[in-house]
């Protein structure tokens, strides 16, 4: 990591340790003060006050800890990351996932273990869904994620049990690449703990673990619950499209689904109506699938031609991305894809 990148990472992490400062304040500073931040590496309290960000000034005024101490604590956290071979990315770095910068919300820092190059691959899809998929849904999800990986898609998911695990396993079975977005620090035990071996395999086989939480950070109270919501949204933000295998209207997958709808990211859900008939519409475990398809917010996929339509919508989404006021990454030419047939 270059010295100037390390200093910006230290600045961001120091601000995150300042009481009352959240991601939105830091996002605004990074977007508004890019020129000032890139022309100095001496981020003193005086410099911060000169940016005239009222939230940051208020945070400094109310802090019981000196700015220098916060910087020292941030440096110690970064040192832990470097010793654990954890890479640190901020939005001014070309390695930072450019898709996240299209939207107003993005993690100011990402801690990564594995191959960071796949974050900016030309084809990325998120595969998500319930923690308790049906046997048929599991089979369909595994098959689709494997076929997409064979066709060059990086599969993003959240390492949860159920559909997330299926998405990761399908990519690995096809010797493809997969990214796991974590709600906990990378140096901590993964959540859930029984997916630790899967997390290790993802890294060993050229994939990536990413988290916005610094190494050594302890989860307190209901913090993990909030982190799970953020994790779901970053899955959508990293991708050209979101596929939900199965979901009810109450499942956590709805956070990723609603983020996709809000940001106009292509969204697809499995439509089992041709196979299950009326049962598909009545069973609560599919209520999310039914609702988003009926409202037209999601594309129904099942037969090969429907998957082709969705894949083309993902290609179109990627080709139309523009990264205003940030780094523009020249897009890779996509290879001609084979038609995907689930059965």
Nearby residues of 309 by Cβ (< 8 Å), 6 or more positions away:
299
CATH architecture of 113-319: 3-Layer(aba) Sandwich (3.40)
CA distances from 324 to 30, 99, 101, 104 (A): 13, 11, 8, 11
Q: State the pLDDT at residue 224.
A: 76
φ, ψ for residue 63, nearest 5 deg: -75, 140
Check residue 321 and give its pLDDT: 85
Confidence at residue 217, expressed as pLDDT on a 0 to 100 scale: 82
Are 115 and 207 in contact, with CB atoms under 8 Å apart?
yes
* CA separation for the pair 298, 295 (Å, rounded): 8
φ/ψ of residue 29, rounded to 5: -60, -45
Q: For the chain, what are the domain ranges? A: 3-83, 113-319
CA distances from 60 to 45, 68, 75, 217 (A): 8, 11, 19, 22
What pLDDT shows up at residue 334? 54
Distance CA 169, CA 249 (A): 25
Q: At what angle do helices 3-16 and 23-32 cross, to 10 degrees?
A: 140
As a whole number of angstroms, the distance between CA 339 and CA 151 comes to 9
- Over the chain (343 residues), what is each successive 10-residue block's mean pLDDT? 94 94 95 93 95 96 96 95 96 94 89 97 97 95 97 97 98 98 92 95 98 85 78 93 96 93 96 90 93 97 95 94 59 58 66
Q: Which helix (H) or strand (E) holds 55?
A: helix 54-62
Cα 117 to chain centroid, rounded: 14
SS (H, E, C) 249-314: CCCCHHHHHHHHHHCCCCEEEECCHHHHCHHHHHCHHHHHHHHHHHCCCCEEECCHHHHHHHHHHH
- How distant is the alpha carbon of residue 191 from its chain centre? 15
| Angle (deg, nearest 10), helices 253-262 and 287-294 | 10
Residue 43 has a CB neighbour count (10 Å cut-off) of: 20
Residues 6 or more apart whose Cβ sits within 8 Å of residue 104: 27
Strands 87-89 and 110-114: antiparallel
């Amino acid at each position: 990591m270059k010295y100037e990148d390390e200093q910006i990472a230290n600045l961001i992490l120091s601000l995150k340790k300042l009481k009352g400062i959240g991601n939105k304040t830091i996002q605004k500073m990074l977007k508004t003060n890019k020129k000032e931040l890139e022309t100095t590496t001496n981020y003193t309290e005086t410099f911060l006050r000169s940016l005239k960000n009222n939230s940051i000034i208020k945070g400094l005024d109310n802090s019981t800890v000196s700015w220098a101490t916060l910087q020292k604590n941030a440096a110690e956290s970064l040192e832990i990351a470097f010793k654990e071979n954890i890479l640190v990315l901020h939005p001014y770095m070309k390695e930072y996932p450019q898709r996240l910068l299209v939207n107003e919300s993005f993690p100011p820092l990402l801690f990564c273990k594995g191959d960071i190059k796949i974050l900016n691959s030309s084809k990325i899809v998120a595969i998500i869904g319930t923690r308790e998929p049906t046997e048929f849904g599991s089979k369909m999800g595994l098959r689709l994620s494997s076929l997409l990986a064979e066709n060059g898609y990086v599969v993003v998911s959240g390492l949860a049990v159920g559909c997330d695990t299926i998405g990761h396993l399908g990519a690995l079975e096809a010797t493809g690449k997969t990214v796991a977005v974590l709600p906990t620090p990378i140096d901590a035990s993964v959540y859930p703990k029984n997916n630790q071996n899967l997390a290790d395999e993802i890294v060993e086989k050229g994939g990536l673990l990413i988290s916005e939480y610094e190494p050594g950070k302890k989860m307190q109270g209901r913090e993990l619950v909030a982190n799970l919501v953020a994790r779901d949204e970053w899955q959508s933000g990293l991708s050209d499209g979101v596929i939900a295998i199965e979901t009810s209207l109450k499942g956590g997958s709805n956070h990723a689904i609603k983020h996709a709808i809000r940001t106009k990211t292509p969204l697809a859900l499995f439509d089992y109506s041709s196979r299950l008939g009326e049962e598909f519409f009545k069973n609560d475990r599919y209520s999310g699938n039914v609702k988003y398809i009926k409202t037209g917010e999601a594309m129904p996929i099942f037969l090969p031609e429907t998957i082709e339509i969705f894949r083309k919508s993902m290609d179109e989404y990627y080709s139309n991305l523009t990264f205003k006021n940030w780094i523009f990454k020249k897009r890779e030419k996509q290879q001609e894809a084979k038609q995907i047939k689930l059965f």
